[in-house]
Structure 1
């Protein structure tokens, strides 16, 4: 007998929304995960199962403020996310039935801006960022 409730949480990245020079396969796999999750959300939502994808940016990965990521450039402190905060936001998104969770105000703003700017502007900005 079906349970008619539950939650699925997939992990992606903001890289799935943005161009990432020297990271094409990573960005493409994250775009796939985000798109697939949103599609499964549409298919499953009437069943009572909530499907969510969390798309964080740069997340601190260890104790003592150890930074994640592989790039050598410095990000403003406000761009680093705490892993516990990311987990809390993701679980809240599943519980409230939101299909996409983008933790962190700077990242939500960047994604919103990228959706209204011409793609060429976004590409140039990220080419400059990743060239550092």
Structure 2
């Protein structure tokens, strides 16, 4: 009789389910963080590249802000090309060939998972980049 009672007490049928229930929320939060960090990091790299390429285009090819903006939108990835805000400033307004060009690009990027949205206070995150180059 003691043997039957001990067997019933030592049964571990639900142990794996309980462990899964305890660790699954933590694993989902880590996975959502990885996904969102990768998404934001990729978009930040794209915005950095657009600012750098826009400044390079401005110092070599053109002083027309419209042409520079068109070039930046052409090289930008599709998900940010229409929504980026571009600010182009020449340090020497009277003669742009004798100064610097400053290209500032910013955009509101949507956060993919709602879990990370709790930590950044909203559903979007503002990413921006600037690049300054001497006009050649």
TM-score (norm 2): 0.23
Computing the radius of gyration from Cα coordinates, the structure with the larger value is 2
Higher strand share: 2
**Normalising by the residue count of structure 1, what TM-score does the alignment of the two structures yield?**
0.24
